[in-house]
Amino acid sequence: MKALLLLAVLLAGIWLWRQRGAAAKPPQPTKTPIQQDMLRCQQCGMHIPSNEAIDGQLGSYCCAEHLHLSEP
């Protein structure tokens, strides 16, 4: 009987110790995506983020190939 009581107290102590350790860790902040303007490719019409767009004289393009196809 004493062994069962000792085992129960030991398991309860381990459980409380683990719960306290989990609560002590601060929650990881979630990364919010950076909002960007979307630009339309003048050749194919695909929308791309402004930081990935290739600027040409007639507008923005999704790749260098489309830039060369549309502009001389």
Residue 50 lies in a domain: yes
pTM: 0.53
Residue 66 lies in a domain: yes
Domain with 57, as residue range(s), is 38-70
Give me the number of domains the chain comprises. Answer: 1
Non-local (6+) Cβ contacts of 69 within 8 A are 43
Q: For 3-62, how does the pLDDT look when each residue is reduced to its tens digit (9 = 90+)?
A: 989 999 999 999 988 887 666 667 778 888 788 899 999 999 999 999 999 999 999 999
pLDDT at 17: 86
Count other C-beta atoms under 10 Å from residue 44's C-beta: 14
Reported in sequence order, the residue ranges of 1-72 that DSSP labels E, i.e. its strands, are 38-40, 47-49, 54-55, 60-61
Which is nearest to 38 in space by CA: 52, 25, 17?
A: 52
CA–CA separation, 6 and 18 (whole Å)? 18
Q: For 52-69, how does the pLDDT look when each residue is reduced to its tens digit (9 = 90+)?
A: 999 999 999 999 999 999
Residue 5 lies in a domain: no
